[in-house]
Amino acid sequence: NAGVTQTPKFQVLKTGQSMTLQCAQDMNHEYMSWYRQDPGMGLRLIHYSVGAGITDQGEVPNGYNVSRSTTEDFPLRLLSAAPSQTSVYFCASSYSYSNQPQHFGDGTRLSIL
Amino acid sequence: DAKTTQPNSMESNEEEPVHLPCNHSTISGTDYIHWYRQLPSQGPEYVIHGLTSNVNNRMASLAIAEDRKSSTLILHRATLRDAAVYYCILRDVGGFNKFYFGSGTKLNVKP
C-alpha cells in the first residue's frame, strides 16, 4: 500500500526554469491538495482538487499551476521558478468529507538558485 | 474561513500528561476539528478528529468545549517521540472544502 507518493524528493533549479512536482495516490481519494512549508513555518495551501477535472486555489496560488486529469495524479507545475519558491512541498489526499483525515506524502525539498 | 489559534510552544516532562489547547471561536456548526502532528523532517501525520463529543484513540484524546469554540488535545503519557509540532485545523464543508494549517504548537518533551 503506497499511500501518497511524491517525486522527486529533492530538486535544485535555476531561476526561470520550469518543472513539475509529481503526486500520486492509490487510495481512490477524491480530494488532493498541495502545500508549501517554509523554514519554521506552518503549511500553506497552494491548490486543491475535489475530483478529476476540478481544481481551485488555496492561500498562495501565484506562480503555480495544477491540473487533475485522473483521480490518482495531481501534479504541481512551476512555470518560471523564483527564489521565493524555495520550500518543502507536501501533497495530501483524502476522501471529500469533513470527517476524513488527510494522508500526506514525504515531501519534495525544492531549492531555487 | 474559520481559523485556529494555538500557543507557539509548550514543554512537558516525559511520562506526564500534556494538554495542547486550540481556540476556534469562528467555527461553524458543520466544521470538524482535526489534529495533526509533524515530526522533524517529515510530513504531517493525522492524530485525531471530532465534531462535538470527546474522542479517544490509541494516540490521544480530544476534548471539545460545549460551545465548540475551543478544544484540547490530550497526550496521556508524553514520550520523547511525541516531540513535534501539533496543528489544530478546521475542515470546512461549505462548497469545496479547504484545509488550512495554522502555525501550530511546538511540543518539547524533557527526559
Please check the confidence at residue B56 and state whether its pLDDT lies above 60.
Answer: yes
Nearest CA in chain A to B99: A45
| Interface subset of A 42-101, CB within 8 angstroms of B | 42-45, 48, 50, 54, 56, 58-59, 90, 92, 96-101
Please check the confidence at residue B95 and state whether its pLDDT lies above 50.
Answer: no
The grid coordinates of residue A63 equal 506562480
Q: Tens of pLDDT along A4-29?
A: 999 999 999 999 999 999 999 999 99
Name residue, grid cell 526561470. Answer: A16
Rounded Cα distance between B39 and B46, Å, is: 11
Which of the four pLDDT bands, split at 50, 70 and 90, describes residue B1?
Answer: low
More confident residue, B41 or A68: A68
Q: Tens of pLDDT along A31-42?
A: 999 999 998 888
Encode B50-61: b = buried (16+ Cβ within 10 Å), e = exposed.
beeeebeeeebb
Which of the four pLDDT bands, split at 50, 70 and 90, describes residue B61?
Answer: very high
Which of the four pLDDT bands, split at 50, 70 and 90, describes residue B2?
Answer: low
Across the range B88-103, mean pLDDT stands at 73
Kindly list the residues from chain B whose CB atom is less than 8 angstroms away from the CB atom of residue A100: 91
Kindly list the residues from chain A whose CB atom is less than 8 angstroms away from the CB atom of residue B22: none
